[in-house]
Amino acid sequence: MTTREQLQSFQAFAEEQLDKHQDHLSLDELYSLWRVSHPAHEELLESVNALNLAYADLTAGHTGEPAREALRESCEQLGVVIGS
């Protein structure tokens, strides 16, 4: 899709969203919604690859770690302080 076609697609999407939400969405929110609905080809391939890897882990018996533990580790790595 050319840049001009992307712009036209975004404009049509934005106008439809504004009609639905009565102008309560910012330009940034509209763009974020549009990007979710229209991912770049590379982003889509990355997501599909991640899902395939996760499925392979699951079928191999790997169940991962509890979400609370993973979130705590992520917060520690980022230096984010969380309550108890």
Residue 16: the pLDDT is: 93
Q: What is the CA radius of gyration of the chain?
A: 19
Residue 84: the pLDDT is: 57
Residue 81: the pLDDT is: 80
pLDDT at 13 over 80: yes
DSSP structural state of residue 38: S
pTM of the predicted model as reported, rounded to 2 decimal places: 0.53
pLDDT at 82 over 80: no
Phi and psi angles of residue 20, each rounded to the nearest 5 degrees, phi first: -70, -40
pLDDT tens for each residue of 14-72? 999 999 887 788 999 999 999 988 888 898 899 999 999 999 999 999 988 888 888 88
